[in-house]
Amino acid sequence: MKKYISLIAVALALTACNNGGKTISSESKAPEFDRASLSIVTPTGAPALAFYKYAKNGNFETNSNPSEGIIPQMVTGKKDVVVLPTNAGMQAILNKKADYQIAATITFGNFYLLSMNNDENKTLDANDTILLFQRGNVPDKVFHYVYGNDYDANVHYVSAVSDAAAAVNAGFFADANGNNVVPNYVMLAQPVLQTVLTKNTDKGYAVYADMQAKYKEKSNNQALFQASVFVKKTVNKDTAKAFLESLKGDIDEAIKTPDVINDSLKDIENAQTVYGIAPAMATAVTKNNNGMGLGFEYAKDNKAAVETFLKLFSIEGVNEEVYF
């Protein structure tokens, strides 16, 4: 009898050790986040690049017309995770009751004011013709936040950054009256800026102002919280946390070793269309002082910076519930 009891005792002890071993092993390393477990939509360009490891994921989608293609999906709650300009996402939550929370910001501005090398005094002033894009949107608001309204008499607009680039390449643009006007300064965003500079190397065009740096100076060292990740309220909190940590890791890796972007995307046939930028170009721009403005900051830990950015759009009084 004693023999059997001791045998059972040994068996139990072995089982316990085995289970214990498993527990120790799982505690030491958290299970890796399954990138296909959440449905995600993001605008093409800089925000999409943060998802360079999601290219083969059927649940990941990009869209080149955020206002027509992404905001409706957020308002109707079609995706678990939505990436949008911080202001647009917040407006969807506050005005359209979109069932999402702001979790983190992943792009911190990629705007630059380009000098066309035709300003005699080489200083931006009220006599200079300035061309901006997306009237009433982030580039316009950032410009006015930094420089105020003193130059408005000579500020002109085109609808998209590609139109601003076209104006630089052509050397002129058509104003509201249809007259051809030569700009002195043009607002551009990366990676378009890089393309424009490469195309016009002989013309002496140069970056006049890094708008992110100017914004930081003006806002008491707060970064430009441009595009953010919004998580649907019904998504499991642990899954969402694991996703955000995984995304943070991916972004940190891309900033540290930009080649990882090209390595992840170079074999994807339609990467250029899906991400809105060729993988090699994305890597080159990121290598150039993180020109795409990639980064990762939790929104809740940076409420002041988020709210400073939102004030540009007269969005105030954001309550605690909006933060993940």
Partner 1 sequence: MRKFISNKFTLFALGILFVIALWIILSLCFDTNGGIFPSPINTFARFTELLREPYSYQCLGQTFKRMLVGFSISFAAALIVGIFAGNHQPLYDFLKPLMTVIKSIPTVALVFLFVVLLTPKDAPILVVIVICFPILYEAVANGIRKVDPQIVQAARVDGARYFKRVLVVKLPLAISYVIVGVVSSFSLSFKIEIMAEVITGTTSNGLGSVIHFVQQEDPTELTSVFAYSLFAIIFMLLFTLLEQIIKQVLIKQKD
Q: Distance between alpha carbon 258 and the CA centroid of its chain, in Å?
A: 16
Residue 242 or 271: the one with the smaller Cβ distance to partner 1 is 271
Give start and end residues of each alpha helix (H) in the chain: 2-28, 46-49, 66-69, 71-75, 86-96, 138-147, 161-170, 192-199, 211-218, 237-256, 259-265, 271-275, 279-287, 303-311
170 is a contact residue toward partner 1 (CB under 8 A): yes
69 is a contact residue toward partner 1 (CB under 8 A): yes
Residues 78-96 as b or e (16 or more Cβ within 10 Å = b):
ebbbbbbbbbbbbbbbeee
Tokens standing for residue 61: 């989608």
Residue 276 or 295: the one with the smaller Cβ distance to partner 1 is 276
Residue 74 or 310: the one with the smaller Cβ distance to partner 1 is 74
Task: Compose the 294-323 pattern: x for residues touching partner 1 by CB under 8 A, - for all others.
Answer: ------------------------------
Tokens standing for residue 5: 């009891």
Give residue for tokens 């000098």.
115
Residues 242-271 that bind partner 1 (CB under 8 A): 269-270
Which member of 47, 53, 55, 61 binds partner 1 (CB under 8 A)? 61
Q: What minimum distance in Å lies between the beta carbon of 82 and partner 1?
A: 12
Return the range that interacts with partner 1 (CB under 8 A); candidates 66-74, 89-97, 241-249, 289-297.
Answer: 66-74
293 is a contact residue toward partner 1 (CB under 8 A): no
Q: What minimum distance in Å lies between the beta carbon of 90 and partner 1?
A: 20
CB–CB of 187/198 below 8 Å? no
Interface residues toward partner 1, by CB under 8 A? 44, 61-66, 68-69, 72-73, 75-76, 78, 160, 162-163, 165-166, 169-170, 195, 269-270, 272-274, 276
